[in-house]
Amino acid sequence: MNIVAHPPDLRAQALACLLDTDPAAKAQRVAALAQAWADGGCGLDAAAVFTPLDTIPGRPVRPELVPPRLVGRRSMATPEGRAMLIHALAHIEFNAVNLALDALWRFPGMPDQYYADWLRVAHEESTHYLLLDGHLHTLGHAYGDFPGHDSLWEMVEKTKNDVLARMALVPRTLEARGLDAIPPLRAKLAQAGDAAAAAILDIILRDEEGHVEIGNRWYLHLCRQRGLDPLPTYRELALRHEAPVLKGPFNLDARRRAGFSEAELAYLANG
């Protein structure tokens, strides 16, 4: 009797990647999963409901997680200060890998393209993490040497029961802040003579526009599907889940490229 071997399921494999506690190993597993998907070596069960048996997300013992106000100031004037900044960025990108993997495995019943999109995000975020971690080593440090905070994952927990809230408040709110923050950081790093870090931030900004666009696209898709008006729905979700109030200046050109409407940009500008 011939036994037909079914290819591994994309969402189940994304959950396994999410549970991995080693950042470098996680990044390598995500890259392998993206390649397997591209090669047709993964299946997709969009209807499956998974129950993780381990703690989510998988992450290393270090860095120590502290309230954001205790992470520390990062001066560009010293190598130590630049290392602290690169570490903070690496921590954000490592968390962004976990955010994308969670969006991929957690929510059943979405179109196939939704899962392909979030696999792409996870892969690109893992590349960003590896670039920053590699640069951190050239500064004499490693990921975990400085504390970090858990604000990004806290919003993942708040929105774990509703994919609409997740799309509204993680990619198009928290991650979209990177579109505003990266250009001035890039300028400061370049002024401090760290051309390698500036080049990494160019890559991250380019990719983050695409990631925020994915969040915007699926948010609008879900609003249409549920018969909701996107702007007042966003306001209600932000209030319900206690999303941070975003403050300018905003990178309006990047936000437009990422799919924000003029009405949304006016709402941001007016606070």
Backbone angles phi, psi at 190, to 5 degrees: -65, -40
Mean pLDDT rounded to a whole number for the chain: 93
Ramachandran quadrant class, 86 (left: phi over 0; alpha: psi -120 to 50; beta: rest)? alpha
Q: Which residue has the tokens 């018969």?
A: 227
Q: Provide the domain limits for residue 216.
A: 10-43+71-269
Q: How does DSSP classify residue 171?
A: I
Quick check: is 64 in a domain? Answer: no
Number of domains in the chain: 1
Query: What percent of the chain stands above pLDDT 70?
Result: 96
CB burial of 102-124 (b: ≥16 within 10 Å; e: otherwise) equals bbbbbbeebeeebbebbbbbbbb
Task: Report yes or no on whether pTM surpasses 0.85.
Answer: yes
∠ at Cα 144 (141, 145), nearest 5°? Answer: 45
Quick check: is 35 in a domain? Answer: yes
Looking at the predicted structure, is the pLDDT value of residue 264 above 60?
yes
Quick check: is 61 in a domain? Answer: no
Under the banding of pLDDT at 50, 70 and 90, the label for residue 57 is: very high
**DSSP 3-state of 183:** helix
Where do runs of H (alpha helix) occur along the chain? 10-19, 23-38, 79-106, 112-138, 151-158, 163-169, 177-191, 195-226, 230-240, 252-257, 262-269
**DSSP 3-state of 210:** helix
* CATH code, domain with 176: 1.20.1260
With a CB cutoff of 8 Å and minimum separation 6, the contacts of 200 are 128, 131, 132, 135
Quick check: is 54 in a domain? Answer: no
Under the banding of pLDDT at 50, 70 and 90, the label for residue 23 is: very high
∠ at Cα 217 (267, 15), nearest 5°? Answer: 120
Under the banding of pLDDT at 50, 70 and 90, the label for residue 40 is: very high
Convert the pLDDT of each residue in 161-215 to its tens digit: 999 999 999 999 999 999 999 999 999 999 999 999 999 999 999 999 999 999 9
Predicted confidence at residue 73, as pLDDT, reads 67
Nearest of 235, 59, 269, 210 to residue 149 by alpha carbon:
59
With a CB cutoff of 8 Å and minimum separation 6, the contacts of 127 are 27, 31, 203
Looking at the predicted structure, is the pLDDT value of residue 41 above 90?
yes
In contact, 142 and 136? CB cutoff 8 Å: yes
Quick check: is 66 in a domain? Answer: no
∠ at Cα 211 (210, 215), nearest 5°? Answer: 115
Quick check: is 184 in a domain? Answer: yes
Rounded Cα distance, 20 and 54, in Å: 10
